[in-house]
Homo-oligomer: A and B are copies of this chain.
Amino acid sequence: MPSAADNLFRVLADPTRRAIFERLTREGDQTVHALTERAGVSQPMVSKHLSALKRARLVRNRRKGRETHYHARPEALAPLVDWMRDYGRFWNDRFDRLEDLLKRMDP
């Protein structure tokens, strides 16, 4: 029973792949071509990384003619946020206070 966080940690572990996701998150929709220009790796490798991100639901694509546009789906990070809450709360007072506040204002 692989936890939901498993795939996310694994997929985001690679710097190149994570950089692609970060860029899609910050800059929005991008074609494979545009991503390749600044990825530092070949176009096939960019496609592979995008496939991995797609399997983890971290990105989505729509084809537009001959080009494929990818965009980030940061909601897919939810399991990681949960994990951070579970294991971050053991030390971070800020986290604790946030959790309390959250419960009080959003029951």
Question: Which A residues lie at the B interface, using CB under 8 A?
Answer: 2-3, 5-6, 9-10, 12-13, 15, 18, 21-22, 25, 72, 74-75, 77-78, 80-81, 84, 87-88, 90-92, 94-95, 97-98, 101-102, 105-106
Contact = CB atoms under 8 A, between A and B. Distances in A.
List the number of copies, as a whole number. Answer: 2
B87 A84 contact: no
28 contacts: A2-B15, A3-B15, A5-B18, A9-B9, A9-B12, A10-B13, A12-B13, A13-B13, A21-B87, A25-B87, A74-B87, A74-B88, A74-B90, A75-B91, A77-B84, A77-B87, A77-B88, A77-B91, A78-B92, A80-B84, A80-B88, A81-B92, A81-B95, A94-B106, A97-B105, A98-B101, A98-B102, A101-B101
A78 to B, nearest CB: 8
Q: In the complex, which of the residues A9, A25, A95, A106 has the most CB atoms of chain B within 10 Å of its own CB atom?
A: A9
A49 to B, nearest CB: 14
Contact of A81 (B10, B75, B84, B106): B84
